Structure 1
Amino acid sequence: MNAPSQHPHDFSASTPDERVRVFIVDDHPAIREALASTITRTLNFRLIGEAGSAQTALELLRRRPPDVVIVDLSLSDGHGFDLIETLRNEMPDVQALVFSMYDETVYAERAIRAGAAGYVMKNAPTQDVIQAIETVMQGEVYLSRRMSSRILNKVIHQKDYTLGAATERLTDREMTVFQMLGAGHNVTDIADQLDLSRKTIETYRRRAKEKLGFDTVSELLQYAVQWTYGREASSSSTETHP
């Protein structure tokens, strides 16, 4: 009598070619190491590479596309949004999953619009990353329960996604510059970190000032600081008092 065939969903019987191929992009070695450890311990996942910059990541990804790319938004040679958009255009079958310290209430929707299939904050439990990879591999979008509820609330109350809040009028780049200004970085620092010219950063700053309705850069900076630290305080309060 022939032996019974393995159940199709029995991951213990997975061969290397059947496992989900994962690639990590993060400029912090410790973060990459932690993610790599989590992925390699998961039976149906296979880590096929990692990179600390967008440029290196693209070179490797073009040679050997994975199933899922875990992307940090803050990279040493650019912004994660740019990498996600490039992946969407060049490798539409690759699922991009954002893993970031940036507040999901500000960046999750932007990441999805850029082409990401999910968003996980770095303070989330490790198991959330595993669940997120499994979710996006099923063709679904992964967001935290908090973020899903926020978006559902917008839909229920028919709030406008673009104009619902003043900061949502900003483009991804303008939002990044705005938040970095609020965190105390000057134009030169921001230009260096984003690998852009000072003039370009000044243009983003001017556009943010105009869209938010301020007359002077000083007013914009004051609001940026209040907005940034106000959110940090709110986030800390939420974590302390769930």
Structure 2
Amino acid sequence: MPVDRPTPSRTTVMIVDDHPAVRDAVARAVEAEPDMALVGVAGSAAEAFDVLREGHPDVAVVDISLGDAHGLDLVQNLRAEADTLAVVVFSMYDEAVYAERALRAGALGYVRKSEPTSTVTEAIRAAADGEIYLARRAASRLLARVAFGAGGPGDRSGDGAPGGDGAAARTGLDELTDREMSVFQLLGQGRPTDDIADHLNLSRKTVETYRRRAKEKLGLGSVTELLQFAIRWTYAQEEQPQMRV
């Protein structure tokens, strides 16, 4: 007589990204894994909460740049809605600038879109087990900061091409608060002040304050210089090789 064997539980996953091609690629990677089940995809923060409430996922893979919310805010808000949810941030932006911020916001993993999709599934497994998942370089940098302070022994933060880990430290981006970095990132996307205020649910005056603080911390002489630098930095991020299947 055949014996019914228990079916191993699968990790349920939701994907939040406003780029359809990225959503589809990650969805296919998840569906190809026998130990994972896709419960839904979302193209916006608003849709993400619908999927969260209907699908009750174990892990959410979240882009850091969405049309209706900043990714770090979404990480915090999703975790506030479901405190057992594990979050992996999947972003085109430099780990040196955003990996530690993502962890502080409540994420358990940070993966750049230049990584193959197999890396995302590795991060999902780690997050589902309650483990932190970072690329080796980002993990080393974070551990050095904890152990020795900025950069650690032999710090080479002045090295690196624009947009890379060294450039992030050299230019002072890692000195910006999360809100200042959010404003800086949106400036780099060419968004006007009022649009940034609406996007981050802040007043125009508050956005201007964050903008001024970012300008001062980066050692720039004017808002125009800040805007030019933000655009160059954002362009460098977008020029990095993107997701590999």
**Mind listing any 5+ residue stretches in structure 2 that lack a counterpart?**
153-168
User: Residues 114 and 48 of structure 1: is their aligned pair in 2 closer, same or farther, counting only changes over 3 Å?
Assistant: same
Q: Does 1:99 align with 2:90?
A: yes
**Mind listing any 5+ residue stretches in structure 1 that lack a counterpart?**
7-12, 237-242
Which residue in 2 is equivalent to 1:10?
Answer: none
State the Cα distance separating 1:91 from its structure 2 match.
Answer: 1.1
- Tell me the secondary structure at the aligned position of residue 72 of structure 2: helix
Superposition pairs for residues 18-33 of structure 1, below 5 Å? 18-33=9-24
Q: Does 1:177 align with 2:168?
A: no
Which residue in 2 is equivalent to 1:218?
Answer: 224
Superposed CA offset, 1:11-58 (max 9, x none): xx635xx11000010111111111111111100100001110001111
Residue type of the alignment partner of 1:14: T
Which residue in 2 is equivalent to 1:9?
Answer: none
Indicate the structure (1 or 2) with the bigger Cα radius of gyration. 1
Superposed CA offset, 1:93-152 (max 9, x none): 100000111111111100000000100111101211111111111111000011111122
Superposed CA offset, 1:47-88 (max 9, x none): 001110001111231333210000001111111111100122
CA distance in 1, matches of 2:176, 2:118: 33
- Contact persistence 1:119–1:143 (CA under 8 A): yes
State the Cα distance separating 1:214 from its structure 2 match.
Answer: 4.2
Superposed CA offset, 1:143-164 (max 9, x none): 0011111122223433389xx8
Q: Does 1:191 align with 2:182?
A: no
- Structure showing greater relative contact order (alpha-carbon pairs closer than 8 Å, 6 or more residues apart): 2
**TM-score, length of structure 2 as denominator length:** 0.77
- Contact persistence 2:16–2:44 (CA under 8 A): yes
Which residue in 1 is equivalent to 2:7?
Answer: 14
Q: 1:84 aligns with which of 46, 58, 75?
A: 75
Higher mean C-alpha deviation, range 54-63 or range 119-128? 54-63
- RMSD of the alignment, in Å? 3.1
Q: Does 1:155 align with 2:160?
A: no
- Contact persistence 1:14–1:44 (CA under 8 A): no
- Contact persistence 1:187–1:202 (CA under 8 A): no
Q: How many matched pairs? A: 223
CA distance in 2, matches of 1:173, 1:34: 30
- Contact persistence 1:98–1:111 (CA under 8 A): yes
CA distance in 2, matches of 1:189, 1:37: 38
CA distance in 2, matches of 1:102, 1:189: 24
**TM-score, length of structure 1 as denominator length:** 0.78
User: Residues 83 and 212 of structure 1: is their aligned pair in 2 closer, same or farther, counting only changes over 3 Å?
Assistant: same
Moved over 4 A (4+): 195-198, 225-233
